[in-house]
């Protein structure tokens, strides 16, 4: 499974989310490849689940994908709740 985390520039907040997603996966005992990138590159990358902040994901148009839109990217419980729904 591949999880792609995105932010506007693919530098700051997406890396924070990557760290947080990895923490949640570890807790759940799930193995997955997690990577971070910027919004425009994300459109061309194939992944099983796409993750981003809610405000940003409104700009991410891609059909038929599993998406996780986070209100608070630092909230591990929110990440876990949304992630579990797709596992």
For another protein, which residue of 65, 74, 84, 87 counts as binding (CB under 8 A)? 74
3-state secondary structure 72-87: CCCCHHHHHHHHHCCC
| Separation between Cα atoms, residue 78 and residue 59, nearest integer Å | 21
Long-range contacts of 81-86 (CB under 8 A, 24+ apart): 83/21, 83/24, 83/25, 83/28, 83/49, 84/28, 86/48, 86/49
> Which residue of 55, 67, 81, 86 would you call a contact of another protein, by CB under 8 A?
55
Residue with Cβ nearer another protein (11 or 87): 11
Question: Please, which residue, 11 or 64, has the CB nearer to another protein?
Answer: 11
Work out whether 51 is an interface residue with another protein (CB under 8 A): no
Binding mask 2-41 for another protein (x = CB under 8 A): -----xxxxxxx-xx--xx------------------x--
């Amino acid at each position: 499974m591949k999880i792609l985390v995105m932010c506007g520039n693919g530098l700051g907040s997406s890396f924070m989310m990557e760290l947080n997603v990895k923490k949640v996966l570890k807790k759940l005992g799930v193995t997955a490849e997690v990577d971070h990138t910027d919004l425009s590159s994300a459109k061309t990358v194939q992944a099983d689940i796409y993750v981003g902040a809610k405000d940003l994901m409104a700009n991410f148009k891609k059909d038929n994908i599993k998406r996780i839109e986070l209100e608070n990217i630092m909230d591990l419980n929110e990440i876990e709740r949304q992630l579990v729904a797709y596992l």
